[in-house]
A and B are shown apart, each in its own frame.
Chain A
Amino acid sequence: MVAEKTSKKLFSVTLRVWRQANAQSPGRFVDYPATDVNPDMSFLELLDVVNDGLTRKGDEPVAFAHDCREGICGTCSCTINGKPHGPGHGIATCQLYMRTFKDGDVIIVEPFRARAFPLVKDLVVDRSAFDKIQQAGGFISVRTGAAPDANSIPVPKADADLAMDAATCIGCGACVAACKNSSAMLFVAAKVSHLGLMPQGQPERDRRVLAMVRTMDDAGFGNCTNQYECSAACPKLISHDFIARMNRDYLAASVKSAFQPVSLGGGGAG
């Protein structure tokens, strides 16, 4: 595909990147100057260019997580100038464009840091704890083929819309990286709220919130102290109100479970 000719003014920045071979080795910042930066380039495209330069010199390129590059898969996960996903609002790292920066800027690039996200290499961390939380209860137990006609379960539009607001979570972990306690409350609350707002999600509502919260705690995430950094860093701007909703669900489920035990085991699977 032919590139458009550009009339844009090119500029230079320095990337100060966290390099760490693995979780056992010490890490450090290394400076990489970048020239001819086009303001229409994405930040990750600049990292691509820097990496190609390193490769040509025979050095190892910077490892970073990325995939869809359109803000939906949740793979990319850089902390840029101290903020998860960087200085933009409501975007993932891959949606950050160089026009955000100016000539001469030093841009500090780090991985998402949290105890429950162990470092893999350079800017890549292990977020498998999120999958474990999901496996504990982030579902509605419905066997394939057992579903009634879709329109037999009407869902009030307001509930469906609010459920969708929560369901837009991309599972990137910025909420955890932004939180001083490394809490995963926003991530868990989004899933609990999405399913809890739907009529289909009611039968397992108590079990779900208890199981997911327990797994979250076991994974080493911290608690919420209502700073709301999570919502501010969230690429989908998911509201911290969902945390309050989850707390209500959790409290109700805990009280109920004191009188009638709730099994937290698997979802009644085959």
Chain B
Amino acid sequence: MAKLDSRIPSGPLADKWRKHKTDIKLVNPANKRKYEVIVVGAGLAGSSAAATLAELGYRVKCFVFHDSPRRAHSIAAQGGINAAKNYQNDGDSVHRLFYDTIKGGDYRAREANVHRLAEVSVNIIDQCAAQGVPFAREYGGLLANRSFGGAQVSRTFYARGQTGQQLLLGAYSALSRMVGAGGVELHTHSEMLDLVLVDGHAKGVIIRNLLTGEVTRHAADAVILATGGYGNVFNLSTYARQSNATAIWRAYKRGACFANPCYTQIHPTCIPVSGDYQSKLTLMSESLRNDGRIWVPKKKEDRLKAPGDIPEADRDYFLERIYPSFGNLCPRDVASRAAKRMCDEGRGVGESGLGVYLDFSDAIKRLGENGVRERYGNLFDIYHEITAESAYQQPMRIFPAVHYTMGGLWVDYNLMSNIPGLFVLGEANFSDHGANRLGASALMQGLADGYFVIPYTIGDYLAGQKPGSRPAADRAEFRQAEENVTGMTKRLLGIKGKEPVSHFHKRLGKLMWEYCGMARTKAGLETALQKIPELREEFWASVNVPGSAATLNQSLEQAGRVADFIELGELMCRDALTREESCGGHFREEHQYEDGECKRDDQNFAHAAAWEYQGEGKTPLRNVEPLNYEFTKMSVRSYK
């Protein structure tokens, strides 16, 4: 059984991080260059960590499977980044951001981690502004803000609808600077396929070069995974096509606990599915809910009418009706489920009935078409590209889609997993968002972890490792891990079955969406737990991976990732089945109030469930980390 020590510092909430920073061990500047740190992934968390650690003097190797770090999917985040700057003088504070995030996460996140996140949020904005990130500005030259879901203050900083892009390019510029200066050795087209443990500590990785197929061993004093979330288990999602869980899944199979895998975020405002060929879903930023109003017809028979022909009196602005105090800006899980209920009632719009309207006509009246274009122009353009419809002339049609995963590898307050020396940052860890993430908090967390947390906390671990004690990569542990990787590649290429990888990915996605999506039931999850192992068996018997291992082989890459998704999907269902309550993004139909809201069970489930791998074909072990709420009162989350 894994030992889960969260290592939360004692003392008052607001002093914990400051106290911890003075208590933890340091590595002296002359010794830093004797330590080598591997960073896998170069999105917001990975790039910022790699750059900052190199600035401190550590020798950093950074591995990305993309052709450039700038391609990481952080680039696609649209709306913004939260920070408790209170530049708007509207009553924001570190404590309020902390409280909103804890409540938004439905009381399933650690208080100490979330408070630290709120504290460093202000430093992130300073850092990014200094890097030249072109944030939106007021006419006076100061920074502008917008509002996001789950908050009653305006604390979201943004760069048009491309905030993720600009923040990532900022982190990429910091990383590029350190690559140019020789502090970071950058390996592109390099996919991590196994983690190497030596005496129980994470001491290296096995990398496959995606262009040449060459498999190499890399030893280090510590390993950082910043490889993002696992939403592509659902096949259709707002993730990039290559986003995958392979790094964290292979680490799980080496003993890292996987916490709360069932916590997935379904984002309310995405463009609906149009056909079986579909490869991904496109998000329409939450920021649109600042000015757009969501509605469905009051009468079922109106659902196929042109929206303009439905008079005001026959429209149901259901979020404003059900949640008057937050209205269209209620949190994502709440908005998604409300939209689902409307569609379940038969009032969904579009041919499939799986859609609701997001209407800008009031905003256009108020701000003019140009005013709306200034705020959301690029999003309206994207919508037009995909649907051939103009949202200036008719409401957008939207539907919820998989967008983010709150679960991830278990980490302590230092962001270290239960494997000593293995750190996990950003979406890949489980730590800050509880059961639901608020909008504009993912960018905040990724950069907080990379710029402001790991540079301190990694020292606490490294100070306990003798400089120069890094194991050699020719040890048996490395050889065994490499054989593990090449063995799997050989096996995949050798099946020579009938079906392409995508066939299995699509089927997995449909199973997951049906049984482990927006609403889950005991019976459904049990069905999924029966069907997924069958799918897994079928995959290993009849997938076809053409080509060789010695060149660029995209089928092979995808096959390995989908093999992992199938196993992870099973774990997600198992976790969802065990968690006999509803909280945030995890909605069990058996556990709801009469009005359809989540019914938590704080008596039995106020904990993180950290799953521990027990070997192939064996049921994983469910470890528990209790969540203690010392500073906030756990209450029923209400946005009414």
Chain A residues with Cβ below 8 Å from B132 are 140, 163, 194-195, 198, 200-201
Q: Are A1 and B277 in contact (CB under 8 A)?
A: no
Q: Are A56 and B498 in contact (CB under 8 A)?
A: yes
B258: CB under 8 A from chain A? no
Chain A residues with Cβ below 8 Å from B352 are 2-5
Chain B residues with Cβ below 8 Å from A155 are 134, 137, 141
- Per-residue interface assignment for chain A, residues 21 to 54, with 1 indicating a CB less than 8 Å from any chain B CB and 0 otherwise: 1100000000000000010111011101101101
Chain A residues with Cβ below 8 Å from B485 are none
> Which chain A residues in 166-201 approach chain B with CB under 8 Å?
167-168, 170-171, 194-195, 198, 200-201
Of A99, A139, A161, the most chain B CB neighbours within 10 A belong to: A139
> Which chain B residues in 414-460 approach chain A with CB under 8 Å?
451-452, 455
The interface stretch among B48-56, B470-478, B567-575 is B48-56
Closest to B374 in A: A161
Bound complex: CA A198 to CA B129 (Å): 10
Bound complex: CA A170 to CA B66 (Å): 14
Known: A200-B131, A269-B178. A157 touches B137 (CB 8 A): yes
Closest to B85 in A: A150
Closest to B351 in A: A4
Q: Are B130 and A40 in contact (CB under 8 A)?
A: no
Closest to B178 in A: A269
- Per-residue interface assignment for chain A, residues 1 to 27, with 1 indicating a CB less than 8 Å from any chain B CB and 0 otherwise: 111111100000000000001100000
Give the interface SS of chain A, mostly helix, strand, loop or mixed: loop
> Which chain A residues in 65-103 approach chain B with CB under 8 Å?
65-75, 88, 90-91, 95, 97, 99
Chain B residues with Cβ below 8 Å from A266 are 177, 180-182
- Per-residue interface assignment for chain B, residues 541 to 572, with 1 indicating a CB less than 8 Å from any chain A CB and 0 otherwise: 00010110001101100000000000000000
A160: CB under 8 A from chain B? yes
Of A4, A41, A99, A144, the most chain B CB neighbours within 10 A belong to: A144
Chain B residues with Cβ below 8 Å from A153 are 129-130
Looking at the assembled complex, report how far the CB atom of B177 sits from the nearest CB atom of chain A, in whole angstroms.
Answer: 4
A111: CB under 8 A from chain B? no
A126: CB under 8 A from chain B? yes
B176: CB under 8 A from chain A? yes
Of B279, B455, B502, the most chain A CB neighbours within 10 A belong to: B279
Q: Are B129 and A200 in contact (CB under 8 A)?
A: yes
Known: A4-B273, A270-B54. A127 touches B141 (CB 8 A): no
Of B73, B177, B234, B242, the most chain A CB neighbours within 10 A belong to: B177
Bound complex: CA A63 to CA B138 (Å): 46
> Interface size (B, Cβ < 8 Å)?
105
Known: A2-B354, A154-B140. A142 touches B131 (CB 8 A): yes
A135: CB under 8 A from chain B? yes
B224: CB under 8 A from chain A? no
Q: Are A58 and B127 in contact (CB under 8 A)?
A: no
Q: Are A44 and B279 in contact (CB under 8 A)?
A: yes
Chain B residues with Cβ below 8 Å from A121 are 551-552
A221: CB under 8 A from chain B? no
Chain A residues with Cβ below 8 Å from B301 are none
**Residue in B135, B177, B280 whose beta carbon sits within 8 Å of that of A69 in the complex:** B280
Chain B residues with Cβ below 8 Å from A44 are 279
Interface residues on A, range: 35 or more
Q: Are B55 and A143 in contact (CB under 8 A)?
A: yes
Q: Are B382 and A70 in contact (CB under 8 A)?
A: yes
Q: Are A66 and B241 in contact (CB under 8 A)?
A: yes
Bound complex: CA A42 to CA B281 (Å): 12
Q: Are A2 and B273 in contact (CB under 8 A)?
A: yes
- Per-residue interface assignment for chain A, residues 131 to 159, with 1 indicating a CB less than 8 Å from any chain B CB and 0 otherwise: 10011111111111111111101111100
> Which chain B residues in 29-66 approach chain A with CB under 8 Å?
48, 51-52, 54-57, 66
Q: Are A65 and B350 in contact (CB under 8 A)?
A: no
Q: Are B162 and A40 in contact (CB under 8 A)?
A: no
Chain B residues with Cβ below 8 Å from A49 are 277
A220: CB under 8 A from chain B? no
B254: CB under 8 A from chain A? no
Looking at the assembled complex, report how far the CB atom of A85 sits from the nearest CB atom of chain B, in whole angstroms.
Answer: 12
Closest to B135 in A: A160
> Which chain B residues in 509-564 approach chain A with CB under 8 Å?
509-510, 513, 544, 546-547, 551-552, 554-555
Beyond A55-B546, A69-B240, A269-B178, 19 extra complex contacts between A and B, CB < 8 Å: A6-B275, A49-B277, A68-B73, A72-B75, A75-B66, A75-B67, A91-B385, A95-B385, A141-B177, A144-B48, A147-B123, A150-B129, A161-B137, A167-B166, A194-B134, A200-B129, A267-B181, A270-B54, A270-B178
The chain A residues found within 8 Å of chain B, CB to CB, are 1-7, 21-22, 38, 40-42, 44-46, 48-49, 51-52, 54-56, 58-61, 63, 65-75, 88, 90-91, 95, 97, 99, 120-121, 124, 126-128, 130-131, 134-151, 153-157, 160-161, 163-164, 167-168, 170-171, 194-195, 198, 200-201, 266-267, 269-270
Cβ-closest 9 pairs across A and B: A154-B141, A269-B181, A266-B181, A147-B130, A139-B173, A150-B129, A4-B352, A135-B180, A55-B500
